[in-house]
Amino acid sequence: MPRLIVTYPRHEGCHFDREYYLDTHMGVVDAAWGGMGMTGAEVMWPIDDAQPFACMIAIDFPDQAAIDASLGCAATPGVLADVARFTDIQPLVYRTA
């Protein structure tokens, strides 16, 4: 299953608002990409602050074309702009086959 993986690598003094992420940001993502083919998402939290990532998410799509459509849609800048509302971490994004 093709996935878009987003990780938030920790840095000294970083902050990440889990409540905002789950209650608001995931709604922004769903509103932007749900109609573009996104079929689901799995949010993963570290067991403790010693882990290298504050959060990881795997977003499912039926194919690479749906990922391309989502990333290229008019709503994607809003998804990216919303990141600053819950963290100061620059997310890393990559795809799986």
- Residue indicated by tokens 């602050």: 49
> From CA 41, how far away is CA 5, in angstroms rounded?
10
- Residue indicated by tokens 């709503």: 75
Give 12-32 pLDDT, tens digit per residue.
999 999 999 999 999 999 999
- Global pTM reads 0.95
Give 33-85 pLDDT, tens digit per residue.
999 999 999 999 999 999 999 999 999 999 999 999 999 999 999 999 999 99
Helix (H, G, I), strand (E, B) or coil at 26: helix
Q: Residues 58, 45: contact at Cβ < 8 Å?
A: no
> From CA 16, how far away is CA 26, in angstroms rounded?
14
